[in-house]
Chains A and B, each alone.
Chain A
Amino acid sequence: MMISGLDLDLDRLATPVPVWHGRVALDDWQEAAIAVRQAGGRLISLWGSDRAGGHAVCAAYAVNDGLVWLELPLAGGQTAYPDLSTIFAAALRMQRAAAELSGIQAQGEQDQRPWLNHGAWPPEYVPLRPDGSAPQAFPDTRVSDYPFVRVEGDGVHEIAVGPVHAGIIEPGHFRFSVVGEKVLRLEERLGYTHKGIEKRFTQLPPLQAHRLAGRVSGDSTVAYAWAYCMALESAAACEIPPRARWLRALMLERERVANHLGDLGALGNDAALAFGLAQFSRLREDWLRLSKDAFGHRLMMDGVTPGGVVCDLDRATLDSLLRQCDAIEREVKTLRSVYEEHAGLQDRFINTGQVSPALAAQLGLTGLAGRASGQAADLRCDQPWAPYDGLQVKMATHRNGDVAARVTLRFEEVAESLRLMRAMLAGLPAGQTRSELILPAQATIGAGWVEGWRGEIFVALELDGEAKDHRIRRCHCHDPSWQNWPVIEHAVIGNIVPDFPLINKSFNLSYSGHDL
């Protein structure tokens, strides 16, 4: 039984990680969420879709045995469904987005403010509705007024930051209510980089859309491309060659290390240790240059393709990848001791931006940040798929939930990824790197679930059959940033404003992956 207490008819999808799909009745929608919550499961994603007979709302839950994708068909053109945000707090913003993109409303949800639409398109236009013809021209963009929550009191003032930030960062707005230097409340407003990715998917041929998936969030291009390809391959029942799986995993771990190196440098810099940035950005550059030589692209964009991977490694490249693992390990070890022995740095890191394990569990903090707050979940350990199933991935977790914990976690994950990569390079199976993918004749669905460097990336794909030219009917991409952005609002409470960049960087969440 996947969800205890509920009798659900679930189909196992042809995914390398265990994913089930099934329909629920209106009465069971909240019951299922409660049952998952009670069993210690997590809400991964919530999104809207359309069926021939009307609309539907979908939710993906991580349970012990894998992932359950539940679908609630809404009969007769209905657009209301029961609210999940009281059961899973993380559902709140996802429901707000589903209202704007798919035109379905969570009944009784407290927060009805628009989330992704800042006045860019008329509210009556529902972008993801298949029949909804887009107005040819929208009126000139007017920025709608957003009612931020005001904090009243003696000496309280607001600091408004963004969307254009002071550095080379993605856009978003942060509204701080402060007394002196202390943050009383932070409210985020995101959606600035919303560029209609999910609508764009429906306009692309399935065999080319992995390029779009690889551009949902540039720092997680391998994870997204893999999740999309996994979804397409499961829909098409396409088995990819073992060598392709190993090469994908190798790229995924390289992506993890590249991001961790960048973040470790930036975190040192945000705490005024410019030396850390110089050293780690040097290592990251070495890393990216070899990625370019080995996989044809510094960020490895478009390296993962439906049916396999585009590039293969020869003996000489394997050797240089191995040598680089050794070199980086040595250097990172030295730098770790520098970081740990630096009193000034540790003073800024320790107890800053703390999220207790209890709060993390309540709000659904996930991925790397979740593991730093005692949330022991890592898909590579929990549901290991090839090649992770034979590598015994060691999960790093901490309980202190502060910037220091998120820094330590990165150091530990770099070390573990280097170990995994060495094992992958040593045991890389011979053979093809790509198999042919034939699009299914019938309409079908697929799912992809991958542990990216930031957390789990999930893709839900619905394909049309031959009769409708194999079009993508719906492709929903989920970034772990959806869960983690709201937690930053809590993490900064009581901290000083100048520590916000440090706290924010220690989470390093995606704007583009969230805004879509």
Chain B
Amino acid sequence: MWNIIQLIARNGIRTEAAPECSDALRVETGRIQRELLEILGQALTIRMVDAGSCNGCELEIHALGNPYYNIEGLGIKFVASPRHADMLLVTGPVSRNMALALQRTLEAMPDPKLVVAVGDCGGDGGIFGESYASCGRVSNVIPVDLVVPGCPPAPLELLRGILTAVRRCRAAPAPQEQPK
């Protein structure tokens, strides 16, 4: 136990300043939390679905939880149930085998909801494209609000994308459309 406490004390707090959502300026954590509260009236909860990715994007989404990015410290939480989620974060080209599960996950989320497609595959199908087994980009299967490009996008870009999507939702407060 002593060893653990010593290590915690020695390493201190490693969390770095979060990125500004649209420009390159850095802001304090507090402002992001305030914005989230203003826009959503609560912390942001995210349900993540891998719809067929190579797992590269998942590794970087995982990294958001490490002490450097400390996403939970910003008031953003990954949740287990879509019924608790404000945002759906989707990776991969959508495999045909996952299309239905992805649609059902979205349907299970309460309105209003945001959908962010992650990675080059999520944005345009990436190197896998469309085929007998792949539906390609996420927006071919469910409506998408924002795409975070990259292969995979670095954690900072992911964070920027998530914050931009939330921001945009304030800029256009109209209820989200549900294109078929």
Contact = CB atoms under 8 A, between A and B. Distances in A.
Contact of B98 (A171, A262, A285, A288): A171
Nearest to B93: A195
A121 B49 contact: no
Given A121-B133, A138-B132, A281 B66 contact: yes
A218 B58 contact: yes
Nearest to A199: B131
B101 A171 contact: yes
Interface string A100-133: 0000000000000000101011000101000000
Interface residues of B, number: 51
Nearest to B105: A164
A193 B132 contact: no
Residue of B11, B58, B65 with highest tally of chain A CB at under 10 A: B58
B98 A163 contact: yes
Interface stretch (A60-68, A208-216, A314-322): A208-216
Interface in A144-174: 163-164, 166-171
A27 interface: no
Contact of B50 (A171, A279, A281, A335): A171
Contact of B131 (A116, A200, A334, A512): A200
A219 interface: yes
Contacts of A95: none
Contacts of B81: 166
A191 B97 CA distance: 7
B98 A192 contact: yes
Given A141-B100, A195-B128, A221-B56, A168 B62 contact: yes
A196 interface: yes
Contact of B14 (A195, A221, A282): A282
A164 B48 CA distance: 9
B165 interface: no
B178 interface: no
Contact of A168 (B61, B95, B154): B61
A298 interface: yes
Contacts, number: 164
Interface in B37-60: 48-60
B152 interface: yes
A169 B58 contact: yes
Contacts of B57: 218
B96 A167 contact: no
Contacts of A9: none
A219 B92 CA distance: 14
Given A285-B68, A338-B7, A341-B3, A168 B127 contact: no
B66 A193 contact: no
Interface in A209-238: 211-212, 215-219, 221
B4 interface: yes
Given A168-B62, A216-B54, A299-B59, A192 B132 contact: no
Contact of A215 (B3, B56, B82): B56
Contacts of B53: 170, 193, 218, 512
A199 B68 CA distance: 40
Contacts of B96: 118, 120-121, 138, 141
A449 to B, nearest CB: 21
B129 interface: yes
A134 interface: yes
A338 B113 CA distance: 42
Given A121-B133, A199-B132, A282-B67, A194 B97 contact: yes
Contact of B95 (A134, A193, A211): A193
B52 A197 contact: no
A339 B132 CA distance: 47
A217 B57 CA distance: 11
B131 A196 contact: yes
A281 B59 CA distance: 11
Nearest to B16: A285
Contacts of A194: 52, 95, 97, 133
A218 B80 contact: no
Interface string B90-134: 001101111111000100000000000000000000111101111
B66 A195 contact: no
A171 B95 CA distance: 11
Nearest to A194: B133
B97 A120 contact: yes
B11 A279 contact: yes
A262 B59 CA distance: 9
B97 A193 contact: yes
Contacts of B152: 218, 299
B8 interface: yes
B30 to A, nearest CB: 22
Contacts of A292: 154
A485 interface: no
Contacts of B129: 200
Most B CB atoms within 10 A — which of A163, A275, A334, A511? A163
Contacts of A275: 4, 7-8
A510 B55 contact: yes
Contact of B128 (A197, A285, A337): A197
Nearest to A166: B80
Q: Which of B65, B80, B132 has the most CB of A within 10 A?
A: B132
A284 interface: yes
17 contacts: A138-B132, A164-B49, A164-B105, A166-B81, A171-B50, A193-B52, A195-B93, A197-B128, A215-B151, A218-B56, A218-B152, A262-B59, A281-B67, A282-B11, A334-B3, A341-B3, A512-B54
Interface of A: 116, 118, 120-121, 125, 127, 134, 138, 141, 143, 163-164, 166-171, 191-197, 199-200, 211-212, 215-219, 221, 262, 275, 277-279, 281-282, 284-285, 288, 292, 298-299, 301, 334-335, 337-338, 341, 510-512, 515
Given A134-B132, A167-B80, A278-B66, 5 more contacts: A118-B96, A171-B49, A275-B7, A282-B11, A285-B66
Would you list the 4 A-B pairs with minimal beta carbon distance, nearest first?
A218-B56, A120-B96, A196-B133, A281-B66
